[in-house]
Amino acid sequence: MFRYLLLTLIVLYSGCASAAQSNPRQRAQEYFDEAFPMAELAEWSERERGYVVSFYDLSSNRSVEMTFDRRGRWREVTLSMETDQLRDNITQYLEESFVDYYATAYELRRRRGERRIGLVIDTPEVIYTLLFNTDGELIERYEEGIDG
């Protein structure tokens, strides 16, 4: 009797564990729905390393992109500019430092739990990674040449 009960619990547990692992997209969706109930027009896409959802958050009036791993755990959030002052400080730095690149592709990122914001700028010759504090002041700058 005890063996039967133990075996039943093991089978149920392994079934629940495999079901949870087999549907990480649903787990990501549940986390997203709970974290951003005011999201508008959420678009989901599957990428090589997991899932990405892009949306506009009405509560903060900004565009957001969340990245989830293959298990449905969120890893990264890309935000639109958070405040006017932050946007102005970063824009001023970009205008002063990258005057030759009027139309550069850039991406603003803040990783979970970090107090700094990263900006990746892809130019024809170099990929720049800039790290700003939350006041928009540059704290680190990296350059990586593009082999051509």
pTM above 0.95, yes or no: no
In this structure, what CATH number is given to the domain that contains residue 114? 3.10.450
Tell the residue number behind the tokens 């704290």, with chain if given.
Answer: 139
Q: Are 73 and 93 in the same domain?
A: no
Q: Is 50 left (phi over 0), alpha (psi -120 to 50) or beta?
A: left
Question: Are residues 88 and 104 part of one domain?
Answer: yes
Q: What stretch of H or E contains 113?
A: none
> Are the C-beta atoms of 20 and 28 separated by less than 8 Å?
no
The reply to whether 41 and 64 lie within a common domain is yes
Within this chain, do residues 12 and 35 fall inside the same structural domain, yes or no?
yes
For 146, counting Cβ atoms within 10 Å of its Cβ (0-12 exposed, 13-18 middle, 19+ buried), the class is exposed
d(CA 72, CA 9) in angstroms, rounded, equals: 25
- Which of 31, 59, 78 terminates a domain? The answer is 78
For residues 24 and 49, the answer to whether their CB atoms sit within 8 Å is no
User: Which domain range does residue 97 map to?
Assistant: 84-145
Last residue of a domain, one of 29, 59, 78: 78
- Residue 60 sits in the same domain as residue 117: no
Q: What is the pLDDT along the chain (148 residues), one digit of tens a residue?
A: 434 333 343 443 444 444 445 577 787 778 777 766 666 667 787 877 778 887 776 666 667 777 777 777 766 666 665 556 666 676 677 667 765 544 344 445 555 555 666 676 766 677 777 777 766 778 888 888 766 4
